[in-house]
């Protein structure tokens, strides 16, 4: 089974060969059939290798887009979420593949360290869960991951649905711990959690995730006691490799997580390196109450509903009161504060919390990304990108780092770089709709309407799933209205805008999103009417977006828009002059 199957037209063999060499040089196994002669055996071999490959790099060129073989292989890859396309000569992929970002290799020149190939390498590392040689060397560990494990969400057996945050948190921490072992390739949290509540067997899940082993378990929490059961199952024959049940005091939860991770490593007959042993022993906190409050906050973050921002801040603040040295809640609090600061400059902007997180743990990507978010919301896009670069150097697949960097690149009109980062962010979480929506905006800003609409359809599908569960998710309604506008669904977009405003009339940030949707509909008067309701209280960071947001391009030359911007700028100038020197 190869890491990568390369799908291409035989007429493009000369340009594909250097790409294959670069992929193999990055440490991955590649199947690309350069010499085989087509025939019945060839078809069988292709089908087998395509189905077994962990990801598929489709090479789009003006020739390959017309190849039914390449299109068929691309469709197979897309159906199992294994597609990672590249393109040459500005090739325009078939319309049903245009929502999937293709890395542009026109000016690549075969440089394995050039920006184009680095972008492809990051995308492949995300999909494969296996670091390239460059990534491994950057972390001081050149060992190839050999055994793939999928950690399924542990079932909440507490009899209280509100305890779901705890079982999910245990699962995520075990995923994080096992990810520290170089001899393991861990299926991403996003893919693993997509099987939450699934009825399929372990064998099916193993085939879909390309995992050799699947870890299943349950958590029962009652008062200050916790019971965790875990089973490691061989996905190929569904045989149990290891199983254990733990009954402990809640205060032992950290040593218990360590014990489970070590037991799995031992069951797989792997050897921990000294630095991996130390990494498993290190815990972000030893305070159980602080840990619980952080998990509660994280549950709300995953939901992505802006009305939870204040609750997230409170949970994080309580966590750091209990353990001031706990970096993760400091970083999470910084994100929440930075987001709320866009509503009002009177609220904390998150800078202090972000800096504290970095001081506590300089190797925490979320901490650097949080500082990036603070700077981005203040309109300091170049400085925000520097903070994001620090986050992505630690973890190239960081959701937070890629999302913030992508938004900054958008503001600077560096749309290709924005798309690369935003696609990685959209891939990291399958319910993520913000990055997916921004991808659509980037393509439309570039004048690529076909890809923009295809991306808008993907974003809308995600938004609809969120709203089906949370009808009052105003942030989802705002981004969904923009997607509907891009797709020409005018009446439905207006209905969502009206609904969102009635749900949260004082939310200036979401009103801004509805203004964007109306601008996309070319409803200039309605957009300006709505903008006027928030411009007198808008934060300076929100005003910075007004000056750079491509959604407002259709409004910029209108006298009324200029008057609103001048009024807001004058207000901030008066406030600056009124501040003591």
pLDDT along the chain (581 residues), means of 10: 85 82 83 56 72 90 90 88 88 83 82 82 78 49 62 89 86 88 81 78 84 92 90 91 92 88 89 79 86 91 83 96 96 93 75 96 94 92 94 86 94 90 81 89 90 91 92 93 94 95 87 93 94 86 85 93 91 80 58
Q: What is the pLDDT of residue 37?
A: 44
Q: What is the pLDDT of residue 110?
A: 75
Q: What is the pLDDT of residue 129?
A: 65
Choose among 152, 262, 289, 288: nearest CA to 218: 152
Dihedral Cα 475, 480, 481, 485, nearest 10 deg: 150
Domain with CATH 3.40.50.10140 in the chain: 4-138
What is the rounded distance in angstroms from the CA atom of residue 331 to the CA atom of residue 323? 14
Q: What is the pLDDT of residue 46?
A: 79
What is the rounded distance in angstroms from the CA atom of residue 98 to the CA atom of residue 74? 12
Q: What is the pLDDT of residue 28?
A: 84
Q: What is the pLDDT of residue 140?
A: 44
Pair 330, 316: CB distance under 8 Å:
yes
- The fold for domain 147-283 equals Rossmann fold (3.40.50)
Number of H-type helices and E-type strands within the chain: 26, 11
Q: What is the pLDDT of residue 39?
A: 43
If you ran DSSP here, which 8-state letter would residue 103 be given?
A: E
Q: What is the pLDDT of residue 146?
A: 58
Q: What is the pLDDT of residue 144?
A: 43
If you ran DSSP here, which 8-state letter would residue 248 be given?
A: E
Neighbouring-strand partners of residue 230? 217, 244
Was domain 4-138 assigned CATH 3.40.50.10140? yes
Q: How far is CA 247 from the centre of its chain?
A: 35
Q: What is the pLDDT of residue 130?
A: 57
Choose among 468, 401, 382, 483: nearest CA to 438: 483
Residue 471: count of CB within 10 angstroms of its CB: 11
Q: What is the pLDDT of residue 502?
A: 94
Neighbouring-strand partners of residue 155? 218
Domain with CATH 3.40.50.10610 in the chain: 147-283
What pTM did the predictor assign?
0.72
């Amino acid at each position: 089974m190869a890491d990568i199957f390369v799908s291409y037209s035989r007429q493009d063999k000369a340009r594909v060969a250097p790409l294959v060499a670069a992929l193999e040089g990055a440490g991955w196994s590649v199947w690309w059939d350069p010499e085989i002669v087509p025939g019945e055996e060839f078809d069988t071999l292709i089908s087998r290798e395509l189905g077994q490959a962990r990801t598929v790099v489709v090479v789009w060129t003006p020739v390959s887009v017309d190849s039914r073989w390449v299109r068929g292989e691309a469709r197979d890859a897309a159906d199992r979420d294994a597609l990672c396309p590249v393109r040459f000569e500005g090739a325009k992929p078939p319309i049903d593949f245009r929502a999937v970002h293709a890395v542009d290799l026109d000016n690549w020149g075969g440089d394995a360290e050039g920006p184009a190939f680095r972008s492809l390498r990051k995308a492949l590392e995300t999909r494969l869960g296996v670091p390239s040689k460059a990534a491994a060397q950057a972390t001081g560990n050149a060992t190839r991951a050999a055994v793939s494990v999928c950690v399924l969400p542990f079932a909440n057996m507490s009899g209280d649905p509100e305890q779901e945050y705890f079982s999910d948190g245990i699962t995520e921490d075990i995923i994080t711990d096992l990810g520290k072992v170089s001899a393991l390739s861990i299926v991403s949290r996003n893919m693993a959690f997509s099987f939450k509540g699934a009825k399929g067997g372990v064998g099916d899940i193993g085939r879909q995730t390309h995992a050799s082993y699947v870890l299943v378990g349950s958590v029962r929490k009652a008062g200050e006691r916790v019971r965790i059961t875990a089973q490691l199952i061989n996905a190929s024959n569904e045989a149990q490799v290891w199983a254990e049940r733990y009954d402990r005091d809640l205060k032992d939860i950290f040593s218990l997580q360590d014990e489970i991770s070590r037991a799995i490593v031992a069951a797989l007959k792997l050897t921990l390196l000294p630095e991996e042993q130390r990494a498993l022993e290190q815990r972000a906190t030893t305070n159980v109450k602080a840990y619980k409050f952080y998990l509660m906050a994280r549950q709300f973050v995953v939901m992505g509903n802006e009305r939870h921002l204040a609750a997230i801040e409170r949970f994080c603040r309580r966590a750091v009161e209990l353990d001031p040295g706990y970096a993760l809640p400091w970083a999470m609090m910084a994100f929440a504060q930075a987001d709320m600061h866009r509503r009002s400059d009177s609220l904390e902007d998150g800078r202090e919390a972000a800096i504290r997180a970095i001081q506590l743990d300089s190797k925490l990507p979320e901490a650097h990304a949080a500082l990036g978010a603070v700077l981005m919301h203040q309109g300091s896009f170049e400085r925000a990108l520097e903070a994001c670069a620090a986050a992505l150097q630690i973890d190239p697949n960081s959701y937070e780092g890629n999302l913030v960097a992508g938004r900054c690149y958008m503001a600077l009109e560096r749309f290709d770089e924005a798309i690369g980062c935003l696609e990685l962010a959209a891939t990291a979480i399958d319910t993520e709709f913000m990055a997916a929506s921004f991808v659509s905006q980037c393509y439309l800003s570039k004048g690529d309407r076909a890809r923009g609409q295809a991306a808008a359809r993907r974003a809308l599908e995600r938004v609809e799933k969120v709203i089906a569960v949370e009808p009052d998710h105003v942030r989802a309604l705002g981004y969904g209205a923009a997607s509907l506008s891009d797709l020409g669904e005018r009446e439905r977009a207006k209905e969502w805008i009206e609904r969102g405003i009635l749900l949260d009339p004082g939310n200036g940030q979401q009103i801004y999103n509805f203004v964007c949707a109306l601008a996309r509909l070319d409803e200039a008067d309605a957009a300006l009417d709505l903008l006027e309701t928030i411009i007198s209280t808008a934060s300076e960071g929100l005003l910075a977006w007004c000056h750079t947001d491509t959604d407002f391009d259709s409004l910029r030359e209108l006298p009324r828009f200029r008057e609103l911007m001048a009024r807001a700028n004058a207000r901030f100038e008066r406030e600056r002059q009124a501040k003591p020197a």
